Amino acid sequence: MKKLAVYALGGNALQPPKAESSSSAEVLARVMSDVIDMLEMDWTVIITHGNGPQVGYLMEMDGDGVHALDSWVAATQGMIGHELSLNLQGILQRRLRPERTAVILTRVLVDGDDPAFATPTKPVGPILDSKTVMSADWDIAQTIHGPRRVVASPKPLQILELDVIRKLVELQAVVICGGGGGVPVVEREGHHLGVPAVIDKDLLSSRLAVDLKADALIISTDADAVYTGFGTPDAKALRSISVAEAMTMDKAGEFPAGSMAPKVNALCGYVGAMKEGQAIFCTPGSVLDALRGESGTAFTAL
């Protein structure tokens, strides 16, 4: 029976801020290499992805905020999924492989009373000018780059398309889903309504991997490993780390809240629920080496 992996790809890994198109193309090629390598090793692969830079560009074009944030999340699922699917499908056909790609617009149920809605902290969209800061009916916070809109980042409760994703996996599809953490929706009187929020992509990927009982959760980003003392002369890459060690480092402030901390928490959450599964942190293009323990960082129960 084939093993199943959820491969979570960061939006910045696909399209680094201010990067040239050649850089993005190189990263995309490494992602495709990872997926093909895993398929040829008899894995089934589900791809999730971030959308930070991409949704930011769309929101900048929509200066007056005509479109709701959940609509832009849905739009980037289609944009990025289309690009990934086109590239991967072409390789699959050239290699005469049986798999096909499927891009699923993914909605995720959140709690309308989640405490995150009371204290929005997730920056979205472009840097705001003074006129927008004074006139916009948004929550706005000062970031290191300037004032930006901030929204809630609630916990994912239920992936509404989970059964569809499961069935497509059974049909040997490489499913591309959960883009940007999924489109956040709440339930009101038996109906689902989109809300202005951003679900963390890594926590959503962990939720998906647990719900599908996946054999591996792989978080692929532009950092090559988890480090102790990151950014200092004593920085050291870790090839393996236990959940307890990771939580201790997190409490000590080793992992920045807006970048590494959600990834670490997602991998630890997966290991806690799926103790026999492989939880891997690595860069695009190195997934097989990471699964063998030769690069990246493996998270373990003990």
pLDDT tens digit sequence for 242-261: 999 999 999 998 998 878 89
11 noted as active-site residue: yes
Rounded average pLDDT over 3-26 = 73
Dist. CA 183–CA 191, nearest whole Å: 15
Res. 18: pLDDT tops 70: no
Q: Could you tell me which of 99, 79, 108, 106 has the C-alpha nearest to residue 35?
A: 99
Contacts of 135 (CB under 8 A, 6+ apart): none
For the stretch 36-68, pLDDT in tens is 999 999 999 999 999 988 888 888 887 666 679
Q: Could you tell me which of 228, 270, 222, 225 has the C-alpha nearest to residue 253?
A: 228
87 noted as active-site residue: no
**What is the phi/psi pair of residue 254, to 5°?**
-70, -25
Contact between 103 and 173 (Cβ < 8 Å): no
Dist. CA 185–CA 107, nearest whole Å: 7
The domain that holds 205 is classified in CATH as 3.40.1160.10
Q: Could you tell me which of 155, 144, 302, 286 has the C-alpha nearest to residue 225?
A: 286
167 noted as active-site residue: no
Give me the pLDDT at residue 242, please.
96
Dist. CA 283–CA 169, nearest whole Å: 24
Dist. CA 204–CA 178, nearest whole Å: 7
Q: Please give the mean pLDDT across all residues of the chain.
A: 91
Rounded average pLDDT over 73-80 = 94
Instruction: For residue 227, give the H/E element and its range.
Output: strand 226-228
Give me the pLDDT at residue 63, please.
66
The confidence band for 22, taking pLDDT boundaries of 50, 70 and 90, is: low
Residue 228, burial from CB neighbour count under 10 angstroms (0-12, 13-18, 19+): middle
Contact between 146 and 129 (Cβ < 8 Å): no
Give me the pLDDT at residue 172, please.
92
Give me the pLDDT at residue 165, please.
98
Res. 115: pLDDT tops 70: yes
**What is the phi/psi pair of residue 249, to 5°?**
-65, -40
213 noted as active-site residue: no
Which of the residues 10, 51, 122, 277 is marked catalytic? 122
Name the domain count of the chain.
1
Give me the pLDDT at residue 64, please.
64
Instruction: List the domain range (segments joined by +) for residue 33.
Output: 3-300
Which of the residues 181, 201, 269, 277 is marked catalytic? 201
For the stretch 90-99, pLDDT in tens is 999 999 999 9
What percent of the chain clears pLDDT 70, i.e. is strictly above it? 95
The confidence band for 105, taking pLDDT boundaries of 50, 70 and 90, is: very high
12 noted as active-site residue: yes
